[in-house]
Amino acid sequence: MRRVFLNLRIALRSLYSFKLRTALAVLGVFLGTFSLILVSNLSASLARKGQMEVEKLGKDLLVVRSGRVIRHGGAARLLSEATTLTMADASAIVEGAPSVLDVAPSSFKSFPVRYGSNVLASVLVTGVTPNYPELRNFRVKEGFFFTQEDDQALRRVVVLGQKVVEKLFPDENPLGRHILVWRVPCRVIGIMEEKGVDLSNVDQDNQIFIPIHTFLRRFVNLNYINTINVQAAGSDAVQTAKIEIESILRERHNIRGGKRDDFTVIDAKDVAALKSQATSMITILGRIAAGISFLIGAIGILSIMILIVNERRMEIGIRRAVGSRRRDIVTQFLVESSFISLLGGVAGVFLGFLITVVVFKVSRLPFEISPEGFLVSFVASVCTGILAGIYPSRKAISIQPVDIIRS
């Protein structure tokens, strides 16, 4: 231990003589460690957020949309509409697809909504079946959801999302009140829990739920729907269920070979995968930046160690002359280079963790720490110092005491 502390004391004295170059070498390793930890933690958090968004949509969920839909960056965009998707199609899917556990047909359209003097110009009004909350993982916070009897009787009852409540009823309880949806008075029977934005970038709190038959008859006067939410029998059955749904709907809609489907079956996990691709690209670019920073740090350590060796030729020659072994000289310079990189690594780990916590709080991302990121960062900083110190240490032991005495 005495030898180790002696080497450290000599290292500190030597590095102090080159303060600016030492600081620049430390900065390179610091930036590499900081970048790697920040990117690793953010990647873990975004992956967790994607998983949570899939869970919010519903367990083992498939969504059948009328018309052709394309997905870009996680968002769905409607290319062409169709009027062929019906309630009977939903019944045929649950009855004819063995891999399907349940279905919840729905349809939506934006309407102006008013209560007293409070007016919302456009709110998404969604007609759904009573089993919709269970299938789509929604929960009622206050009051209750409508029943099958409400749906069959075409009752004008509504359940409000959190943002609609905040805008229409800032100072009173909405339960039991009547609001005007377009021109139709409807009684508020429930309030949904806060849900947030889903994978398709739709704010699920800024909508109103109405019994689907009430919606089709009293609001839009249509006999077709635009969405069927399907729950597969399990995560392993999702792809099988998708094939079965497509087969059933093609047969019911008389779509033969070579013709385009007038519907689109969307797997929620596929949408999440599209978003994760963008996250993966950010992660790769972040790791490349961290690697470049480590390389710059290694070059900085290498340059300062070569300078130190040249400046300390007399010291090295005298130490060799009085009996220092080659490995003592090698250890000395490896300790110095490792100390520089370790100092930058510790600073990067500390500040990386601190900035990660701040980013999570500001952006409201899930708090996820990547142990692998910390481990790789620490190992990378140590290896950077060792590798950058190998050449200077070899140069140091090549110095011969007789050459120093002659000079």
Q: Which two tokens stand for residue 88?
A: 């009977």
Provide the pLDDT confidence category of residue 48 given band limits of 50, 70 and 90: confident
- Please classify residue 299 by burial: count the beta carbons closer than 10 Å to its beta carbon, then call 0-12 exposed, 13-18 middle and 19+ buried: middle
Q: What value does the mean pLDDT take over residues 70-99?
A: 78
Query: Averaging pLDDT over each range in 75-84, 212-221, 315-324, 339-348, which range is the top one?
Result: 212-221
Contact call for residues 190 and 143 (beta carbons, < 8 A): yes
- Predicted confidence at residue 337, as pLDDT, reads 81
- Predicted confidence at residue 1, as pLDDT, reads 61
Closest CA to 106 of 54, 148, 66, 53: 66
Q: pLDDT at residue 305 above 80? A: no
Which position has the token pair 């958090």?
45
Greater pLDDT, 295 or 211: 211
Query: Averaging pLDDT over each range in 51-65, 182-196, 275-289, 358-372, which range is the top one?
Result: 182-196
pTM above 0.75, yes or no: no
Q: pLDDT tens for residues 351-363? A: 988 998 888 888 7
- Predicted confidence at residue 269, as pLDDT, reads 63
How many of the other CB atoms lie within 10 Å of CB of 55?
12
Percent residues over pLDDT 70 in the chain? 84
Greater pLDDT, 127 or 331: 127
Provide the pLDDT confidence category of residue 290 given band limits of 50, 70 and 90: confident
Q: Which two tokens stand for residue 270?
A: 């596929």
Q: Are strands 157-160 and 207-211 parallel, antiparallel or unpaired?
A: antiparallel
Q: pLDDT at residue 209 above 50? A: yes
Q: Is 291 helix (H, G, I), strand (E, B) or coil?
A: helix
Contact call for residues 260 and 68 (beta carbons, < 8 A): yes
Provide the pLDDT confidence category of residue 74 given band limits of 50, 70 and 90: very low
Q: What value does the mean pLDDT take over residues 19-39?
A: 80
Q: Domain limits of the chain? A: 2-52+273-406, 83-261
- Predicted confidence at residue 154, as pLDDT, reads 95
